[in-house]
Structure 1
Amino acid sequence: MVAASAVFSLTGTGCSNTMDHSEASASGHEATGSKATTLGVDRAREKAKAVSSQIYELINIRTGKVTEPGPSISTCDQDPKNFYKTVHPWSVYDVSEDELKAGFQRLKEGLPGKGWKIVQYGPNKSRDRTLELTADSRSEPFSVNVELWVSSPTAGAEKDPKILVNVVSGCWRAPKGTDLSTQY
């Protein structure tokens, strides 16, 4: 399994399209591009970091390691010169599988109370049938996909146990004059 596959699976579940806060549904579905929120790239990264921090707080594993790279941007298919989304894959690792399972459970139980709607939960369709959840924010144009990579009868012994998190925003309109090809 690769981290990128989770990002691609997330983009079809919720907030991968242009978002308009006044028109977007609670589950974060598509809104029209002409009314999309204009947001600078640095501010969009800050928002993605804040969402990731909230997810990390809910997982609540302080003894584990967390991958370092921050949010990046990716252009949106409908208008790659003017629309982009933030993508923030990261993981928690280097703790016992029991700690990872408990953290995943805390996240599942805590998300609704923090304004998230869980739109999918259960084993995914991978060969390993990895436990996964996808949730959409009710207040911001973000979705999160989380996978629990631990040993199981279908996966066998997991060599690199972790909780893999992918935070993805809806599409933002770049401010006039922004060259998205120079952003990362």
Structure 2
Amino acid sequence: MQTRRQKRLWAVLLVIGLLAGAVGAMLYALQQNIDLFYTPSQLVEGLGKDKVKPVVGQRLRIGGMVVEGSVKRDPESLKVSFDLVDTGPIVTVTYEGILPDLFREGQGIVAQGVLVDATTIAATEVLAKHDEEYMPPEVAEALKGIRHVPPSKQNLPAASDREANSSSSEGRY
């Protein structure tokens, strides 16, 4: 016959075992939903000191700057392709759908999708930065060396200069 202390010990061990099994099952199920973030350089050259590259068919997120003149739209559908760059290689992103209003060439974006080949992503979602001043820390670190001038820092004429120019062109009565 088991003592009361042994029964408690078995009950505690059973609860701990069940909790460990539940956590393991959740982590296994969530493994399919984990999207790793890459920059174009990391995608082509590999990530980390081991230079691990994603496999074809892997879900991932990629962030970079849209290359000027690279946006190609299909006139028959909503398909669009564009190139992304950070400080190194260029990666092509294909997407079918409506792009965000803030999407444009020279803009920082993050695309989520599936790796088709070594330098092509089939995106399911494209996100553009909301605020011109904000950039996620990972993207900012990866894009060091790329010249991006936020609109607030550009040399735009002051409001008083714009008013003076517009009033001088109107003429006087």
Same-fold status (TM-score > 0.5)? no
TM-score range normalised by the length of the shorter chain:
under 0.3
Higher normalized contact order (CA 8 Å, seq sep 6+, divided by chain length): 1
TM score, norm. by length of structure 1 = 0.24
Q: How does the TM-score come out when normalised to structure 2?
A: 0.25
* Greater helix share, structure number: 2
